[in-house]
Amino acid sequence: MFLAAPRRTGKSTFLVHDLLPELMARGATPVYVDLWSQKSADPGALINEAVRKVLDKQGKGVLGRIRGAGVTKAGLGSWLSFDLEKLSLSGGATLANGLSALVRKGEGPVVVIVDEAQQALKSEAGRDAMFALKSARDTINLDPTLTDGRPAALGLVFTGSHRDKLASLVTGRDQPFFGSRIRDFPLLGRDYTEAYGRHINGLLPPDRRIDASEIREAFDIVGRRPQYLHSAVTRYATGDLGGEREFDSLLQLAQDERETHWDSYRRQWSALDHLQQAVLRRIIAEGDRFRPFDADSLAAYAAAIGEPIGAKDVQQALDGLREQELVVRLERGRYSLEDPSMADWLRAETGPSE
């Protein structure tokens, strides 16, 4: 399963605080790895390490029970038929071997959850690990001794904050999960704003209580990002300490939060030349259909700039946008925003059709 949602909307919190406990409660063994947890580490190594750690922990638990029962000489080697240290290194057991061992020894399904999975494509080892996970899924789920009557014994969940980059794992026949579909990770909604509203109103003086619908609206303004709602509410609750300002409305404060965030887009935008702005607009407007050099695109740039534009100019503009890390080039000439939330800002700032 592939799930995508924008930055800071609560993906990791959901995975760690809701999904992992739920899986364990249902007798599954989760393996969680966040590929952003150590920016400098190789994503492939992080995935292997996560599987190794869970195997190690489970093995030690089992060994503890064996030793407790009076068998003194048992070691991890006797529990596993391979050397854990060499998992997925050359000459060692494969990731699929490791995961099969987890299913067999854990006596329940295993679910591997890779947070910010698009990051795997950043290295050869990361790509290899993704292929290894795919192959493990296929071999394990086709083995009746492992599935044991269940529909599957190995589940894979991949999440990401960049839908287009995540899609790189599923578009193209040469990609590991070709044919899978990316779904929207549901954002926090009414349940959350109502629970939060009850909590906050319990703390505020009666004349400062906030209406549930106002909290909901403020949450929408900040793109359903809890952190920004919290700061708006905190500022609302504390007021303008020592300042001249009247108590602000929550909606105004939510807009302030958003503005702070948007100012950086504004700065980046105003540093671009007209053609770069036109190309960026086109990328946002066309999404997956964007073709930088086709006749329609060239006509759109020309209309925006007021003079004819050639493919060479467009190439230069694209290179500039990539150098400034506003645009990323994906496989097969697909282009996307480096930060997809910039599209929300641009639409709000200038209207969709301009």
Ligand X SMILES: Nc1ncnc2c1ncn2[C@@H]1O[C@H](COP(=O)(O)OP(=O)(O)OP(=O)(O)O)[C@@H](O)[C@H]1O
Cβ-based nearer residue to Mg ion, 112 or 298: 112
DSSP for 89-145, please give it: STTS--HHHHHHHHHHHHTS-EEEEEETGGGGGGSHHHHHHHHHHHHHHHHHHT-HH
Cβ-based nearer residue to ligand X, 155 or 226: 226
| Of 89, 288, 282, the residue nearest 170 (C-alpha) | 288
9 binds, among Mg ion, ligand X, none (CB under 5 to 8 A by kind): ligand X
State yes or no: residue 8 binds Mg ion (CB under 5 A): no
Residues 10-29 that bind Mg ion (CB under 5 A): 11-12
Query: What is the DSSP code (8-state) at residue 323?
Result: H
Q: How far is the CB of 119 from Mg ion (least distance, A)?
A: 11
336 binds, among ligand X, Mg ion, none (CB under 5 to 8 A by kind): none
Give me the phi and psi of 24, to 5 degrees please: -65, -40
Identify whether the C-beta of residue 83 lies closer than 8 Å to the C-beta of residue 75: no
Cβ-based nearer residue to Mg ion, 52 or 162: 162
Contact mark string toward Mg ion, 53..82, x via CB under 5 A: ------------------------------
Residues that bind ligand X (CB under 6 A): 7-13, 161, 188, 192, 226-227
In the complex, residue closest to ligand X by CB = 10
Give me the phi and psi of 191, to 5 degrees please: -55, -45
Cβ-based nearer residue to ligand X, 226 or 287: 226
Identify whether the C-beta of residue 152 lies closer than 8 Å to the C-beta of residue 144: no
State the angle between helix axes of 341-350 and 274-286 in degrees (0 to 180), rounded to the nearest 10. Answer: 110
Q: How far is the CB of 5 from Mg ion (least distance, A)?
A: 9
Q: How far is the CB of 190 from ligand X (least distance, A)?
A: 13
